[in-house]
Amino acid sequence: MMMRFPSFALTAAALGATMFAGTAASACPTAAYPGPGFNYAGGDLYSGQAFTTTATGGSDLSACGIPGARGYAADVATMSMYLTMMDGYALDIDVQSDCDSTILLHTPDGGWVFDDDSGGSLMPSITLTEPWRMNGRVDVWVGTYGGGTCPATITFRTGRAPGVADEAGDVPMGGSGAGAAVGCPNPGLVGQTVAYTGGQLWSRQSLPVQASGTTPLGSCGIPGTRGYANPAPNYSFYLSGMQGYRLDLTADASCDSTMLVRTPDGLWHFNDDGHGNFDPLISLTPPTALEGRVDVWVGTYGPTPCPATLNLETFTAASGAPQAGGGQGGISPTPAPMPGSPVQPTPDNGFAGTWSTNQGGMILTRMGNQVSGSYGGSGSLVGTVSGNMLTGTYTWNGLQGQFQLTLMDGGTAFSGTWSRPGASGTWTGSYMGP
């Protein structure tokens, strides 16, 4: 059994996948439908990474022709791990859940690996030791023995593979490059992906994280940094609608923590104790680029990791921060929306705009009574508006189905359903802005 670690919720693009991996899927698990993707090198997982998810039933695995498999699992993978530099490592994968759960893997060599109860107490656990079963894409299904669903946490952790010497310092580092930079923060790696708009961050968003680091930042050539950080960022945030905003990032940890941020313009930002109590604060203001991918590493001043919380919050750029252009003739920032007061849609543009939904972020456009758009990172939809109702079809990762959504609360929310042969579920959303 593996140690327990702070859990990360599968959000953003992951929601698009869980929509279809949810209820009563009729097809067998297949590598044709990868789950939400996460990129790690072997060293990145040495301190452990945990994800909160749902153990999900679906097809009867005994009828799917997968040797030794039993219980139930969805057709779409719960997640897909893209692994590199796994030589010299063993990879432990275990699940803790509120029901009798299972793990099913499809490995890069094309094989299947299944476990039911090896972790004890009806919990599954799998250890992989061969590099050819780890280097590449590993699809992961968290299933159930009885066919229902329940909350679950899946944890990945690397250790020394059998036959690798046990002396201190012999563990290979993750990341890429050569020499001292092998384990340094690497913008080529991707953390857990989460998408936000500036308006969503007007209400503080707090995410669990493990403050940790395997590499002394002083050896990485990033000016002004100190302490320790890992090669891969904890989170990769995809931000939009950030014009006119200041973004504050803080961490609250049970040890002396640090923060390193890389913004879309390629600049590095570091802080150690700006938040007080040995915790970091980074405040990003115009003209710093905030539209696009923002990578965040929560590290430690010393080598010992600890649980932490990462906080993100936006303010108007004029609130204690320079305006665009440094306040010298630049464009005045757009005022941030106040909480609870989204821009009101009209009867002529209902459903158009940016939405936060239980299937991931959604952007819709409307021409007449026709609506089209994208959601969940890889999904698309088209539909027709009649009154306060939108009906149409969706496509996600090759899967197609129907949906029906009804506007509520003056057009600031919707509630509805999606369905396809053998699966169905709810679809709800809140209006975020144009």
Range list of β-strands (E), 18-124: 37-41, 49-56, 59-60, 72-73, 79-84, 89-97, 101-106, 112-115
The tens digit of pLDDT for each residue in 10-32 reads 543 343 344 443 433 358 998 87
Residue 42 to residues 161, 174, 215, Cα–Cα distance (Å): 11, 5, 14
3-state secondary structure of 160: strand
- Report which DSSP code applies to 409: G
**pTM confidence score:** 0.41
Which residues neighbour 271 within 8 Å (Cβ) at sequence distance 6 or greater?
258, 259, 280, 281, 282
Instruction: Give Cα separations from 71 to 61, 102, 114, 117, 141 (angstroms).
Output: 6, 7, 10, 12, 12
Q: Which helix (H) or strand (E) holds 433?
A: strand 423-433
pLDDT 10s per residue in the chain (434 long)? Answer: 334 444 455 543 343 344 443 433 358 998 877 788 787 878 778 878 888 888 998 899 999 999 999 999 998 899 988 887 777 789 999 999 999 999 999 998 888 999 999 999 999 999 998 888 888 889 999 999 999 999 988 999 988 877 654 433 344 433 333 332 347 898 877 777 788 888 889 889 998 888 888 889 988 888 889 999 988 888 888 888 888 889 999 999 999 999 999 998 889 999 998 888 888 999 998 877 888 889 999 999 998 888 889 999 999 876 433 333 222 222 233 333 333 333 344 445 688 888 777 777 788 888 888 899 888 666 789 999 988 899 999 987 677 889 999 888 777 788 888 888 767 777 887 777 66
Do the Cβ atoms of 403 and 396 come closer than 8 Å?
Answer: no
Q: Residue 382 is which amino acid? A: V
**DSSP code string of 193-227:** EEEEETTGGGS-EEEEEEE--SEEGGGTT-TT--S
> CA angle 388-393-395, nearest 5°?
135
**pLDDT tens-digit map of 336-381:** 333 333 334 444 568 888 877 777 778 888 888 889 988 866 678 9
